Amino acid sequence: MQKALLLLSLLISLSLGRIIGTECRATTLTVETLRNGTGSNQAEIITHIRNAELKLVDPRNNYWSCVDGRSDFGVLGTPGGDIAEFATAISIYSENGGNVTTEEEVMFHFVSFIESLPITRPFYLHTDSHAVEYLVEVLRELLHLPNTTEVDIEDVPSYKQDEFKVAALESKSIGCGHLRLLTVYPADYQVPFNYTAWSIRVFYDFLWNHANYTRLVVHKSDPRFVVNLGDHEERAVVNIISNIRAGSPKCANLIPLVVPKNIHDSLFINHISHVSVLRDQLISYFSKQPRSIPANEFRRRFDEIGAIQLNLTVGYLAAGRPIFAVTINVEEVNVEVPDNSAAKFGSVLYLLLLLALYLR
């Protein structure tokens, strides 16, 4: 009997304890200096990145932000984010046989591309508070409203949208530095002006009308319209390289979001090792369109132009700043997790039944 009671005590203790599982985490960081300059040093870069939780996401299901260092939330960064990569992709398609010649055609491809994405994946464009201040003034003038009237550029009346989109392409209306550079130096960036301009205009149309199914028939994706505050004060460019450790199959498609801005400083964040995921999505769509070049040729051209654009934008926006490569290792780690309450109760009953059978 004493043996049975001891066995019962052990079984109950085990069933009410904790279970061991695994989860993916960003574990260790290494930093390499690619270019010296005035700004943050390696130790400050590590501290900055570690100060915020390195949330892991699947880049196939997540929107891509700009490298802009004024964002105070975790980002997947590439110059210009979703909208700039889309403008580059439709330019490559058009210049290599696709022959896109109107904003309406860009709208068709924009909506069709969004429909090809995972159903809840947002699409991103950012501006800044300086551009918004100017566009608010423009909108008040278009609506003949006094300066004290509150207006929202995310909710422009349909009868003023075309006029507003003209103003939205002025240089001071574009709060994303990379997009602005695309419009100012189209030849250098190898994207003709119209494709960037049409892409921006189409995004605003999407922002205002995506819920109006008589205008834009799209699925559950929403626009991710971000207004970054203040001035550029980035102290370094950081190329993020995500490394999945061997023996961590659960983590195979996960990469860490990094927060560019905190109370101490801000950084340009460029997820250089995984932007291919976004480009794969664009290539998968455009290479299947009529008269497109093959996917492998599209990829070669896209990566070539992307590298040119990155170097130009870093040169303009981060002149004199140091550049670092930060490798973030991601791996499965053992964790203790509370057992489910209902499961625990069921386990106790099951073990008591086994014990009763044992004592018979």
Residue 108 has pLDDT above 80, yes or no: yes
In a domain? residue 246: yes
In a domain? residue 24: yes
Q: Based on the structure, what is the number of domains in the chain?
A: 1
Residue 10 has pLDDT above 50, yes or no: no
Strands (E), the chain: 18-35, 56-57, 123-128, 223-228, 234-244, 255-256, 266-270, 323-338
Residue 2 has pLDDT above 50, yes or no: no
Residue 133 has pLDDT above 80, yes or no: yes
In a domain? residue 352: no
Query: How much is the average pLDDT of 287-292?
Result: 97
DSSP state of 330: E
In a domain? residue 346: no
Percent of the chain with pLDDT strictly greater than 70: 86
In a domain? residue 199: yes
* pTM reported for the whole predicted model: 0.88
| Interatomic CA distance for residues 106 and 109, integer angstroms | 5
Query: How much is the average pLDDT of 137-156?
Result: 96
Mean pLDDT for the chain overall: 89
Residue 210 has pLDDT above 90, yes or no: no
For 133, the token pair is 């201040």
Query: How much is the average pLDDT of 310-337?
Result: 94
Instruction: Check if the beta carbon of residue 92 is closer than 8 Å to that of residue 304.
Output: no
pLDDT at 13: 47
Query: How much is the average pLDDT of 272-284?
Result: 97
For 132, the token pair is 């918004």
| Interatomic CA distance for residues 191 and 232, integer angstroms | 25
Given pLDDT bands bounded at 50, 70 and 90, which one contains residue 21? Answer: confident
- Phi and psi torsions of 181, nearest 5°: -65, -35
Residue 319 has pLDDT above 90, yes or no: yes
In a domain? residue 102: yes
Encode 186-216: b = buried (16+ Cβ within 10 Å), e = exposed.
Answer: beebbbbbbbbbbbbbbbbbbbbbbeeeeeb
For residue 96, the enclosing domain spans 18-338
Min mean pLDDT across 108-122, 193-207, 216-230, 287-301 is at 216-230
- Phi and psi torsions of 210, nearest 5°: -65, -25
Query: How much is the average pLDDT of 122-128?
Result: 97
In a domain? residue 271: yes
pLDDT at 168: 98
| Interatomic CA distance for residues 245 and 205, integer angstroms | 43
Residue 198 has pLDDT above 80, yes or no: yes
Min mean pLDDT across 23-37, 60-74, 214-228 is at 214-228
In a domain? residue 179: yes
